[in-house]
Amino acid sequence: MKKGQLGFLTGTHAVNDLYQGAIPAMLPFLMSERDYSYAAVSGLAFAASGVSSLFQPLFGVLSDRRPRTWLVPAGFITAALGVVAAGLSGNYPVTWLCVALAGIGIAAYHPPATSQARAAGGSSQKAMSIFSVGGTVGGAIAPSLVTLVIGSAGFDRSYLLAVPALVMAVLWGLKGPWMRSRGHVEAAPLVTGAAAKSSAHGARQADDWRAFGRLVAVIIGWSIPFVTVTSMVSLHAQRDLGQSSAAGAAALTSYTAAGAVGTLLGGWVGDRYGRMTSVRVGYLVALPALLGVAWAPTFPVLLVSAVAFGAAMFVPFAAQVTLAQDYLPHRPGTASGLTLGLAMAAGGLCSPAFGWLADSSGLRAAFYALLLVFVVPVALALRLPDRVLDTPDASSSERVEATNTTGAQ
């Protein structure tokens, strides 16, 4: 494990995903100050998550062709510009476009950074969980930062939200040569095409698109409740339970911060008991936790349920990323782009539908509908096959492909 590079990339992940978390944190302020409806703010959630996710596979393909480390700083700087511009804009169409721009920046960051983090961490689930938790921490900080800036000074001071990106850009400028000198080696695929062709058992190293398709289906089902709860839990606390905007921000912060704990826990469980254990435990705990979010009669119940749901949702996260890259060992950037991108687009695409349901029937009805949708990915996750690949320089006779008994068929 290359701890220095992994730590630095984890810091950039925190900054990048801070802007991903800033957008849902801004939604209650947009509703109160600009009179947006649930459908309107759900449309902004689509602009952030959906547009970002649609672009992410493209950046994944570009990262596979050759290392493009410059996409990492370009991504989080663009995300910051989009968020700041959305706060300063005065009408909905411009706000939507600015949020979409932020989403594209977030999309540009993830594939190259994830590939480099996997290479820096080797086969350790803990290493990937450390990188992932950087993004979760950034998302957890976002509601407090947005409340501090916009809640106290208004949207006119939105430019202050750009400070974290500017600081990290300076650090990247100082660390840039160090990153580039390692990027050509560490961003390379786990198994090169030449190695696969020279192996007498190259077929065993082939990309497993069928298993990868199953994983994409699971992540699509994961993204729908994740994006919807992220965009609505703060509103749920304020509109249904009569809490203040600060309490709503606290609920969102607790939800996203719990994801950091879940990510680290998932990495530990994956290394100790196998990554499929972390996948199954995460989904099985998340289902009743989501029921608690929908049912919550009081704010403390909502807070506990949101924390449990946020943690459980991220227990499988690192395992899903490494599993995707092992299903497609020749295309790690594409695997990251599709699983973190196109599959996540479903969450953004479906968010307006739940917003319309909330407008017509209330937020609780939207959460209960979300619960029914979530049953499908939970069932699929229990049947995912595992796949274990040796390091690229191992002989083909030492390469092992493992498939669990429930998923092999």
- Predicted pLDDT of residue 191: 39
> Is residue 377 predicted with pLDDT exceeding 70?
yes
Q: Which helix (H) or strand (E) holds 83?
A: helix 71-88
> Is residue 78 predicted with pLDDT exceeding 90?
yes
Residue 265 CA to residue 91 CA, distance in Å, equals: 42
At residue 287, what is the residue type? L
Q: Which residues contact 350 (CB under 8 A, 6 or more apart)?
A: 224, 227, 228, 373
Question: Is residue 147 in a domain?
Answer: yes
Question: Is residue 406 in a domain?
Answer: no
Q: Say what percent of the chain tops pLDDT 70.
A: 83
Residue 249 CA to residue 152 CA, distance in Å, equals: 13
Residue 351 CA to residue 227 CA, distance in Å, equals: 7
Name which residue leads in pLDDT, 135 or 403: 135
Question: Is residue 244 in a domain?
Answer: yes
Question: Is residue 161 in a domain?
Answer: yes
> Is residue 320 predicted with pLDDT exceeding 50?
yes
Residue 333 CA to residue 335 CA, distance in Å, equals: 5
User: Could you tell me the residue range of the domain that residue 111 belongs to?
Assistant: 3-398
**Confidence band, pLDDT 50/70/90 cuts, at residue 407:** very low
**How large is the average pLDDT for residues 22-29?**
88
For 197-213, the pLDDT digits (tens) are 433 344 456 888 899 99
> Is residue 215 predicted with pLDDT exceeding 90?
yes
Question: Is residue 371 in a domain?
Answer: yes
> Is residue 45 predicted with pLDDT exceeding 50?
yes
Number of domains within the chain: 1
For 325-353, the pLDDT digits (tens) are 889 888 877 787 677 666 666 666 787 88
- Predicted pLDDT of residue 165: 95
Question: Is residue 189 in a domain?
Answer: yes
Name which residue leads in pLDDT, 191 or 261: 261
- Predicted pLDDT of residue 189: 39
**Confidence band, pLDDT 50/70/90 cuts, at residue 117:** confident
Question: Is residue 96 in a domain?
Answer: yes
Q: What is the CATH number of the domain that holds 160?
A: 1.20.1250.20
**Confidence band, pLDDT 50/70/90 cuts, at residue 124:** low
Q: Which residues contact 37 (CB under 8 A, 6 or more apart)?
A: 31, 355, 359
Closest C-alpha among 273, 301, 272, 275 to residue 289: 301
List Cα–Cα distances, 60 to 66, 286, 386, in angstroms.
Answer: 10, 29, 23
CA end-to-end distance (rounded Å), the chain: 35
> Is residue 123 predicted with pLDDT exceeding 50?
yes
Q: Model pTM?
A: 0.67
For 267-319, the pLDDT digits (tens) are 889 888 989 999 999 999 999 999 999 999 999 999 999 999 999 999 998 88
> Is residue 106 predicted with pLDDT exceeding 80?
yes
Q: Which residues of 77-92 are buried (b: 16+ CB within 10 A; e: fewer)?
A: bbbbbbbbbbbebeee
Q: Which two tokens stand for residue 57?
A: 């596979």
- Contact by Cβ (8 Å): 110, 63: no
Question: Is residue 403 in a domain?
Answer: no
For 90-103, the pLDDT digits (tens) are 789 999 999 999 98
For 157-183, the pLDDT digits (tens) are 899 999 999 999 999 888 654 554 444
- Predicted pLDDT of residue 310: 94
